Chain A
Amino acid sequence: MVGQILFIIVAAITLLMALGTVVARNLFHAALFLVGVFFGIAVLFIMLEAEFLGAAQIIIYIGAIATLIVFAIMLSKNVMGKEAGAYNRQWYLAMGGVVFFFLLMGWLLIQMPFAQVSAEVPADAISQIGQGFVGHFVVPFEVASVLLLVALVGAIMLARERNS
C-alpha cells in the first residue's frame, strides 16, 4: 500500500518533469527537467531493488550526459530559446500519433497477463553483474569498449576547433 502510493507520487513527478522537458522553450530549463526525470527513474530503480543501476543512473545520466547536454547548449548559444516556435509544422500530427500509440500500448498492456515470479533478488547481485560482464556477456562488454573508443574519437574529430 505504501509502496503503491510512493510509486504513484514518484511516477507522476517524473512524468510531469518529462512533459516539462518537452514543453520548455528555454533549452537550459529543458535540461534541468531532464535531470529531474533521470533522478525520478533512479528512485524507481531503487524501488525495483536494482541498487547498482539506481546509483549508476545518477552517475551516468546526471553526472555525465546531462552535463554534456548543458555544455552543448552553451556552445550553440540558443539558451534563450525564444526563437519562433519551439515545434515544427507537423507537431499536431505528432501529438495525435503519440497519443494513439500510448492508448494502444496501454490497452494492450492492461490485457496482457504476465507470469510473475515472487523470488528474492540475490544478495550478491552486483558481483553477479560483474561476473556477467566477463562471462556470458563478454563479447558485448568488449564491443562496448570499442563503441566508447569510436565515440570518443569521432566526437573529438567533430567538435574540435580546427583552425586554432
Chain B
Amino acid sequence: MTVPLTWYLIFATALFSIGFFAVLARRNAIAVLMGVELMLNAVNVNLVAFWRYLTPEDLSGQIFVVFVFAVAAAEAAVGLALMISIYRTRKTINVDEINELRL
C-alpha cells in the first residue's frame, strides 16, 4: 500500500464538496440529484478506504457500501419519478420555481 490513507480521504472530501456544490447551486432538479450521487460516492470511497487501511479482516466496511448502493438506487428511483411527475404537471423541474407545497 504505497498510497497514504489521507490521499483517499482528501480525494473523497473533494468529491463530496463538488457534489455538495451541485446540490446547493444547480437549478435543475436532475442536476441536483447527480450531485447527491456524487456525495454518496464520496462516502463510499471513504468507507472502502477506511476498511482497507484500518480493518482489512473485518468486511463490515464493504457490506456497508453495498447498503449505500441500495439507498442510492432507491433515492434515485423515487427522486427521478417525483421529477417526472412534477414535470408532467408543472412543465419545469427547476428547483427554485417549484415552491408550492402542491402539484
Contacts and interface: CB of A to CB of B under 8 A. Distances in A.
A1 B2 CA distance: 6
Interface residues of B, number: 71
Interface string A23-48: 00001001100100110010011011
Contacts, number: 237
Interface of B: 1-3, 5-11, 13-15, 17-22, 24-28, 30-31, 33-35, 37-38, 41, 44-45, 48-49, 51-57, 59-60, 62-63, 65-67, 69-74, 76-78, 80-85, 87-88, 93-96
Name B's interface SS.
Answer: helix
Contact of A19 (B18, B45, B48): B18
Contacts of A87: 25-27
A157 B76 CA distance: 15
A144 B67 contact: yes
B31 A18 contact: no
Given A41-B41, A94-B21, A129-B66, A81 B28 contact: yes
A50 to B, nearest CB: 5
A97 B56 CA distance: 35
B53 A50 contact: no
